[in-house]
Amino acid sequence: MPVHFLLPMVLKATYWIPHGDELIDLPNKDSREMAKRISESAGRDKSEVRVIISPHGLGLSRNIGVIMTEHFAGSFKVATRTIRGKYRNDRVLAGVIADSNPEIVERVTFATGSGPKSTFPIDFGTLIPLQFFPRGDVVMIGQPRFNRREELVKFGGALFKILDKYNRQVSMVFSADMAHTHAVDGPYGYSADAKVYDGSVQDMFRLNNFSRSTEIEESIINGAKPDSYWNLLIMFGFLHAGGIKLHMEYYYVEHYFGMLFAHS
C-alpha cells in the first residue's frame, strides 16, 4: 500500500477564480481581459492535483462535504457553446481532508464506491474555473454556508497543512463570485451593500490582510448576496497558516455581480 506522506511538498499555487459564464462567452472587454489573465496564470500551473471549493457544488446544512467518488464529469451550456469536463478524483487526498475534522467535515459518496458509475456531477462553479487549467486530478469540496465563522477559518488552516505535506504537487482553487446585487434589473435586485461588500473584499486583497473577513456584518452579506463569503473565511485560515500572499489581478462588475481574480 503506498505511503502518501513521506516528504513535505510546497503547495504549488493558490487561486481565487470567479465562475461567471462571461469568462467563456467573452461578451465584452472586461470579460476578455479577465479571461486572458486567468489563462496566463492557470495555464502555466504544473500541479498534479487541484483542490477546488465551489459554492455551487454539494451543499450540506451543517457540515463540509468532500466528494469521494472515483470520477467527476459534467457539462454546462453557456450562450456560445457547451463546456465539458471529466476528471479523476485523488481519493487518497480527499480522504485525508475528509478525516481531518470529523466534527464538521464528512465523506460524501454517489452511485457506487468505484468504477465508471462512481461519478459525481461537476457544477458550473467548478467546471468554469477548471477550463483554464491543464489536465490533472481534482478534489472537490462543497462550500459550506453555515455561519460558524471561526470553524471555517480553522478548517482553512487545517486544509493548508494537509496540502502542503502531501506527496503530490497541489494547487488550491477557491471558486467565488462577489456581490450579486449591483443592478436594479438583476435577478436579485439592487442593494448598496453590494458596493460595500466588494469594496471591503478588494481592500483585503490589496493589503493581503483577511482578518477583517470575520467581522463583516451579517446584514451586509444578506444585502450583497455574494456566493464568496464562506470561501473567504476558509481562504483566510488557509493563507494565514501558509503565510501566503495573493496578488489581485482584476476586478469588474458584470451587470449585476462582481468578479475578482487573484493568485499567489
Contacts of 166 (CB under 8 A, 6+ apart): 4, 5, 9, 49, 93, 96
pLDDT digits (tens, 9 = 90+) for 181-238: 999 999 999 999 999 999 999 999 999 999 999 999 999 999 999 999 999 999 999 9
CB 126 within 8 A of CB 46: no
pLDDT at 4 over 60: no
pLDDT at 102 over 80: yes
pLDDT at 40 over 90: yes
Fold category of 13-178+199-215+228-263 in CATH: Protocatechuate 4,5-dioxygenase; Chain B (3.40.830)
Percent of the chain residues past pLDDT 90, beyond the cut: 89
Q: How far apart are the C-alpha atoms of 209 and 93, rounded to whole Å?
A: 29
Which region, left, alpha or beta, applies to residue 112 given φ > 0 means left and ψ of -120 to 50 means alpha? beta
Predicted structure pTM score: 0.94
On average, the pLDDT of the chain sits at 94
The domain ranges of the chain are: 13-178+199-215+228-263
Q: How far apart are the C-alpha atoms of 173 and 129, rounded to whole Å?
A: 8
- Cβ count near 54 (within 10 Å): 27
Backbone angles phi, psi at 225, to 5 degrees: 55, 55
Q: How far apart are the C-alpha atoms of 219 and 225, rounded to whole Å?
A: 10
pLDDT at 93 over 80: yes
CB 157 within 8 A of CB 237: yes
CB 55 within 8 A of CB 228: yes
DSSP 30: H
- Dihedral sign computed on CA atoms, order 70, 109, 144, 123: positive
